């Protein structure tokens, strides 16, 4: 694991975007795993700027999103597909056919989840997976207790997560109770992981993920087992870490995992 501590949210976002851009320049047909939530928004903004100003080319990129709410169509403003259109896809040159987001309206959920896993495999696996972290230590919608070997499937959301995400909906009752999500095992198959986090409300989750025991009660802690995992955090999210990390000054291109 390489823990990179940046001064603030913008620096964290820039660091993550520069790593993605570097991998994309080396491999134009990069397979990117994408996340939603407030955390990656800044990184998406930088990637859009690099596309517009420096011609960063997404024409051969394939993307797989981590998760989607069950019951929300892609046109619903709170669906993750809608979020991705507004915050990234509409502003870069990725072909529609290369975009994979789970369908929360799928009739046969199990078959749909199997299909999603097969498409990831056909694409050659995810090269770089972006991750946020829930305050309860979840990654994607793998809530505490999720099997560390799990694959894409339906999960029931915890009350904590529904409360955390209620800020985007008019009423808490509108937050879906279920979601489709890539599994912890599916995420761990990615060749590189970039876990982003900012703000003091995430400090406990980051401490547990990076320095706590590896446990299904903190699904994010499994990243300690990954061969190439970067934890990119701002100072507030890093505030409860007890080890000292060199990441504030070390170039993230130096692999010392
Ligand atoms: C949701 C998403 C996660 C995300 C988490 C944190 O639950 N399913 O993928 O990491 O929220 O969101 P935020 O970045 O807004 O704190």
Active site annotation includes 76: no
Residue 61's φ and ψ, nearest 5 degrees, are: -80, 145
> Residue 225: is it exposed, middle or buried by C-beta count within 10 angstroms (0-12/13-18/19+)?
exposed
Residue 90 Cβ < 6 Å to ligand 1:
no
Residue 69's φ and ψ, nearest 5 degrees, are: -70, 140
**C-alpha span between 135 and 66 (Å, rounded):** 17
Residue having the nearest C-alpha atom to atom 1 of ligand 1: 37
Say which of 98, 136, 142, 165 is annotated catalytic.
136
pLDDT at residue 67, rounded to an integer: 98
pLDDT at residue 257, rounded to an integer: 54
Encode pLDDT of 124-174 as tens digits: 999 999 999 999 999 999 999 999 999 999 999 999 999 989 988 988 789
Residue 76's φ and ψ, nearest 5 degrees, are: -70, 135
Over residues 91-120, the mean pLDDT reads 98
Task: Please list, in sequence order, all residues whose beta carbon lies within 8 angstroms of the beta carbon of residue 222, skipping any fewer than 6 positions away.
Answer: 148, 184, 188, 214
pTM for the predicted model, two decimal places: 0.95
Encode pLDDT of 177-219 as tens digits: 999 999 999 999 999 999 999 999 999 999 999 999 999 999 9
Residue 31 Cβ < 6 Å to ligand 1:
no
Say which of 15, 117, 138, 192 is annotated catalytic.
138
């Amino acid at each position: 694991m390489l823990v990179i501590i940046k001064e603030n949210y913008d620096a964290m976002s820039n660091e993550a975007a520069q790593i993605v851009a570097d991998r994309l320049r080396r491999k134009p047909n990069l397979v990117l795993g994408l996340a939603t939530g407030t955390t990656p928004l800044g990184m998406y903004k930088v990637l859009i700027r690099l596309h517009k100003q420096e011609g960063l080319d997404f024409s051969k990129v394939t993307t797989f999103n981590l998760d989607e709410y069950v019951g929300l169509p892609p046109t619903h403003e709170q669906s993750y597909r809608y979020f991705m259109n507004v915050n990234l896809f509409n502003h870069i040159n990725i072909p529609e056919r290369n975009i994979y987001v789970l369908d929360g309206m799928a009739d046969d959920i199990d078959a749909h989840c199997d299909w999603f896993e097969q498409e990831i495999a056909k694409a050659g696996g995810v090269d770089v997976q972006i991750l946020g972290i829930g305050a309860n230590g979840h990654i994607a919608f793998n809530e505490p207790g999720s099997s560390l070997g799990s694959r894409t499937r339906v999960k029931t959301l915890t009350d904590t997560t529904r409360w955390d995400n209620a800020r985007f909906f008019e009423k808490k009752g509108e937050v879906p109770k279920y979601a489709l999500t890539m599994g912890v095992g599916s995420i761990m198959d990615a060749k590189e992981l970039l876990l982003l986090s900012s703000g003091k409300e995430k400090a406990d989750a980051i401490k547990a993920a990076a320095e706590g025991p590896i446990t299904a009660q903190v699904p994010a802690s499994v990243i300690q087992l990954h061969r190439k995992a970067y934890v990119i955090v701002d100072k507030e999210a890093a505030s409860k870490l007890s080890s000292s990390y060199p990441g504030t000054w070390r170039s993230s291109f130096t692999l010392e995992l």
